[in-house]
Chains A and B, each alone.
Chain A
Amino acid sequence: MTALLKIASIETLYYDRIYALQGLSLEINEKEVFTVLGPNGAGKTTLLKTIAGLLKDQPNKGTIQFMGKRIHRLAPERVSRLGIVYVPEDRGLFRELTVKENLDLGCWGRKDKGIHDDFEFIYQLFPILKERSKQQAETLSGGEQQMLTMARAMLRRPKLLMLDEPSLGLAPLVARHVYDALSQISQAGTTILLVEQNARMALRIADFGYIMESGRIVLEGTSKELQENEDVQELYLGLGGETVSPKGWRLYKKRRTW
């Protein structure tokens, strides 16, 4: 299978001197769910923004290819029109517009007949949005806002859906609902690139995962491999580690294998 998105050793800098991504490479295959995990400041959000073209003149070095075409340093509008949809951390809603208007904007540039079906699909996925369609987006609750952004993203018929921490600030139950919707979306045939802090949830739906630290990919593997990796278990899943020392304290910090 050829890679849908192929990133080759990109470097992204902030203010011309702070490296956020240093020589990062990854590949994403079609119709799978990929997740990128990592602590705060690892550069996960930067990675998504770089792909979406939201950072001016970045990446500084390296190439990004989407379906064989280079997309690095394109304007965000152009990237978006190719079918890459980025859902930012702050959800990127138009807060003063109504839910329906937000969804309409999701169809920007589409004139095909499928719009109606897509609306059906998302209303079936998130029935609450139909009830709230006349309401201003800022009056929605956090969970509903997340659903709205995902629905809006789906209306663009994305080839690649990039989500930045969809579970941020959501109650566990709501987060689970969001993730259920995500797995439905993925089953419908959309490639998903998911950035998360909540490793457990992300790995549950992901097929393949990357662990990122300080701007580099340090570990990659299928979701299962990652879940079984000792370091990942300790650092991201919170398993083990506590019973290492018989006296209840640890003499040394466990050395990571990366």
Chain B
Amino acid sequence: MTNFFQYVVSGLSTGSIYALVALGLALVYRSTRILHFAHGDITTAGTFFAFTLLGLNLHFWPAFILAMVFGALIAMTFYFCVLVPAQRREATQLGQIILTVGLGLILQGLISYFGGTEPQSFPFPLSDTKIYRLGNVVISELSIGTFGIGLLTCLFLYLLVQKTRLGLAMRATSENLPAAQTMGIPTRGILALSWGLAAALGVLAGLFLAPTLLLDPFFMLEPFLKGFAAAILGGLNSLPGAIIGGLILGVSESLAGGFISIAFKNTFAFLIIILVLLVRPEGLLGEEFIERV
């Protein structure tokens, strides 16, 4: 039983990372209907940027904030310089997905060139080895921090989207673009903001993930795929869905890894998703497909 709780706790901590990644993907999908394949690479770029800044003896918090801004800038630049012209030329949905793949390749190459491909350890203010005991369950400081930051971000995002005028505009734009345009809402700006926000969330996830994994240009690939799966699990259109999907994925993966087989951890995670999707094709909290014939 103790084992069980231990796995759940560590699952919640990785789950909040997945939730952060999934939130970013869901934000992008909601606003522009694009599966964002460069999300992981933008995250990696931001994390490497933070690493470089730390190397210049900058303090942790300003470095982290600058890294998030850096990630957001990449995403917004991509939106304005690539996606907008492509949309003007009537790029197809799949074509736009491939554009993000292209961005991913570019970033990957640049990171490998400037950051080096050797794995590096990432210094972090919260320690991985300092642990707290809760009954028989052991929690590291880092896990608490990760979970906490995940919760805080979700709260922040909830307040932003549901309670502010900006959030209202974001919801309106993602729902009905032409109508939002005729309302005089600056939709380009709102969409770019969604991309930037998504990237910042991704970088945050990357920063909290980097201390446990080693930092190399491909360290985000797996969490990115998991975040993707989590977003789908919750229903790509729904932000709460992304959070719940992320937590469920993290916990179930940790349980599967602990009780069944560590080698097939990923496979089990995907198996769960496939089963959920077969019962609810639109994801847990996604809107049901309403088809007009």
Partner of A96, one of B165, B171, B183: B171
**Are A81 and B184 in touch, CB under 8 angstroms?**
yes
Chain B 176-210: CB-based contact to A (< 8 A → 1; otherwise 0): 10111111111110000000000000000000000
**Given the known A-B contacts A88-B178, A95-B175, A95-B176, are A80 and B168 also in contact in the complex, defined by CB atoms under 8 Å?**
no
Task: List, in ascending order, chain B residues with CB within 8 A of A80's CB.
Answer: 181-184
Q: Which residue of B lies closest to A162 (CB)?
A: B182
- B172 contacts which chain A residues (CB < 8 A)? 94, 97, 101, 105
Say whether A150 faces chain B, with CB atoms less than 8 Å apart. no
Q: How far is the CB of A63 from chain B (nearest CB, A)?
A: 21
A85-B179 contact, Cβ under 8 Å, with A101-B168, A108-B169: no
Residues of B contacting A106 with CB < 8 Å?
Answer: 183
Q: Does A92 contact B (CB under 8 A)?
A: yes
Cβ contacts under 8 Å, A108 to chain B = 169, 183-185
Q: Within 8 Å of chain B (Cβ to Cβ): is A248? A: no
In the complex, whether B133 has a CB less than 8 A from a CB of chain A is no
> Does A93 count as interface, using CB distance less than 8 angstroms?
yes
- Within 8 Å of chain A (Cβ to Cβ): is B130? no
Q: Does A237 contact B (CB under 8 A)?
A: no
Residue of B nearest to A101 (CB): B168
A76 interface neighbour in B169, B175, B176, B178, Cβ under 8 Å: B178
For window 158-175 of B, CB contacts with A under 8 Å fall at 165, 168-169, 171-172, 175
A77 on the B face (CB < 8 A): yes
CA distance A75 to B188 in the complex (A): 10
Name the CB-closest residue of A to B186.
Answer: A77
Interface SS of chain B: helix
Contacts of B168 in A (CB 8 A): 97, 101, 104-105
A172 in the interface (beta carbon within 8 A)? no
> What's the least CB distance linking B36 to chain A, in Å?
22
Select the residue from A75, A104, A108, A109 with max chain B CB neighbours within 10 A.
Answer: A108
Query: From B185, which residue of chain A is reached at the shortest CB distance?
Result: A108
- Smallest beta-carbon distance B31→chain A, Å: 14
Complex Cα distance, B178 from A56, in Å, reads 12
CB A82 to nearest CB in B, in angstroms, measures 9
In the complex, the answer to whether B185 meets A86 with C-beta atoms within 8 Å is no
CB distance from B95 to the nearest CB of A (A): 17
Q: Are A97 and B88 neighbours in the complex by a CB distance under 8 Å?
A: no
Identify A97's interface contact among B171, B181, B186, CB under 8 A. Answer: B171
Bound state CA distance, A196 and B88, in angstroms? 31
Residues of chain A contacted by B169 (CB below 8 angstroms) = 105, 108
Can you list the 3 inter-chain pairs with the closest CB atoms, starting with the nearest?
A92-B179, A80-B184, A76-B181
Which residues of B line the A interface, CB within 8 A?
A: 88, 165, 168-169, 171-172, 175-176, 178-188
Give 28 pairs: A residue, B residue, CB < 8 Å, sorted on A.
Answer: A52-B182, A54-B181, A56-B88, A76-B181, A77-B184, A77-B185, A77-B186, A77-B188, A85-B182, A86-B182, A88-B178, A88-B179, A88-B182, A93-B176, A93-B179, A94-B176, A94-B180, A96-B175, A97-B168, A101-B168, A104-B165, A105-B168, A105-B180, A105-B183, A108-B169, A108-B184, A152-B183, A156-B184
